[in-house]
Amino acid sequence: MTDERFLPAAEPAQPRPDAEPDSELVIGLLVSPPLTPVLGPDVTTSLRDTLMRQYPGVRWQLTVAEDRLVDPPTDTLDLLEAARNRVLEEGWDLAVVLTEIPLKEGRRPVLTQLSPLHGVGLVAVPALGARHVRQKAQDTTVQVVGQLLGYDSEDLDAQQNLARTARQLSTDLEERPDDNVVQFTARVLSGNVRLLLGMIRANRPWAFVARLSRALVVAAATGVLTLVASDLWLLALAYGPLRLGLLAVMAIGAVSATLILGGGLWERPRQRAQREQVTLFNLATAATVAIGVLVFYLALFILSLLGAFLLVDEEVLAGVVGHPVDALDYAKLSWLTASLATVGGALGAGLEDEDVVRAAAYTRSST
């Protein structure tokens, strides 16, 4: 990637007079050893100053560590997961990795990769070009931090929203020894609603299943095969909305569980102090996958509806079910077809490589 593709940091929005009190966020900056001379000895001070100017509603604490994390050849997912381990071990809130390893989305080189759920961003320093590398690396790091926190420069309340997100991210729940898993999870959820929603939105769950080609192919094939079966017509028109809705929920749940468990997306805390962060991570992961599968289900329903009108003749359908049919009957047929096709998608998801599922759930390019 050349210099021309680098986008300088946007001018910070002016903080509102009624902005919330400062919150302190701890950021780990993981620098690959070959890049240490490039960034210079004053990287901590200059980065903190830039962050304070760009996002004045937060007190920033920066910790710089020289660590390659993984030895090349490697891929983006390995870097993200190694950085996530450091976040949990060190108790950081976020981490940004400056690496000399090229980052790619498919075959296309990219400057940065984000995992909002992990709280980790990657910056491929070689993609910044050969000139003004130090300043570009600092500006890109500041951008990545803002993106991890869901900062939107076009939002009039961007600074306030970022301050609220920072407060939730940096505030630890009070320990209650008598809490069971359900009680603790409920407290994490109620105390981090804004942060959780921001993590889910930043992860773009609507694009999740689109990266799982096998699941899509299997689901589409299942839909075509079931749509032309006359037994399915009888069942669909005999079922009421309650039963069809229950089948839809079961189908979406089956695919979501298959992806989460089969893809190794569920994280376990290694220390008691990590419980809140890990619980929040798992809630965001489950919501991301469920929303992605729901979008997948709706797409299958629309495709099934179009296929029903094209493939299922109205007179033939009426002759099989024994009464005149209308658009509502076609909708019920498509509803059941989408549920069965989604279950087929669960089989396809089970065929996906674990790394493919994790990459689809966690990573996205930002630049």
Q: What is the pLDDT of residue 242?
A: 93
For the cut 90, the answer to whether the pLDDT of residue 23 exceeds it is no
| Dist. CA 178–CA 358, nearest whole Å | 34
Q: What is the pLDDT of residue 7?
A: 41
Res. 248 pLDDT band, cuts 50 70 90: very high
Res. 216 pLDDT band, cuts 50 70 90: low
Res. 367 pLDDT band, cuts 50 70 90: low
Q: What is the pLDDT of residue 185?
A: 80
Give the residue, 79 or 346, on which the prediction is more confident: 79
The predicted-structure confidence for 257-302, as pLDDT tens digits, reads as follows 888 887 778 888 777 667 778 888 888 888 888 998 898 889 889 8
| Dist. CA 126–CA 81, nearest whole Å | 21
Question: Looking at residues 113-140, what average pLDDT do you find?
Answer: 86
The predicted-structure confidence for 172-204, as pLDDT tens digits, reads as follows 766 676 677 777 788 777 777 777 887 788 777
For the cut 70, the answer to whether the pLDDT of residue 67 exceeds it is yes
For the cut 80, the answer to whether the pLDDT of residue 325 exceeds it is yes
Whether the CB-CB separation of 102 and 122 falls below 8 Å is answered with no
Question: Looking at residues 58-65, what average pLDDT do you find?
Answer: 87
Res. 96 pLDDT band, cuts 50 70 90: very high
- Name the phi and psi angles at 59, rounded to 5: -90, 125
| Dist. CA 2–CA 11, nearest whole Å | 23
Res. 18 pLDDT band, cuts 50 70 90: very low
* DSSP SS3 for 106: coil
- Name the phi and psi angles at 280, rounded to 5: -65, -40
Give the residue, 168 or 146, on which the prediction is more confident: 146
Give the residue, 169 or 125, on which the prediction is more confident: 125
Res. 9 pLDDT band, cuts 50 70 90: very low
Whether the CB-CB separation of 173 and 276 falls below 8 Å is answered with yes
For the cut 90, the answer to whether the pLDDT of residue 42 exceeds it is no
Q: What is the pLDDT of residue 347?
A: 64
Helix (H) or strand (E) holding 262: helix 241-262
For the cut 80, the answer to whether the pLDDT of residue 85 exceeds it is yes
| Nearest residue to 114 (alpha-carbon basis) of 361, 353, 288 | 361
Q: Which two tokens mark 26?
A: 């701890």
Res. 12 pLDDT band, cuts 50 70 90: very low
**Average pLDDT of the chain to the nearest whole number:** 79
Give the residue, 335 or 109, on which the prediction is more confident: 335
Taken in order of first residue, the domains within the chain and their CATH numbers are: 3-169 (3.40.390), 184-365 (no CATH)
DSSP string, 157-215: THHHHHHHHHHHHHPPPPP-TT--HHHHHHHHHHH-HHHHHHHHHHT-GGGTGGG-HHH
| Dist. CA 342–CA 220, nearest whole Å | 9
**Chain-centre distance for alpha carbon 244:** 29
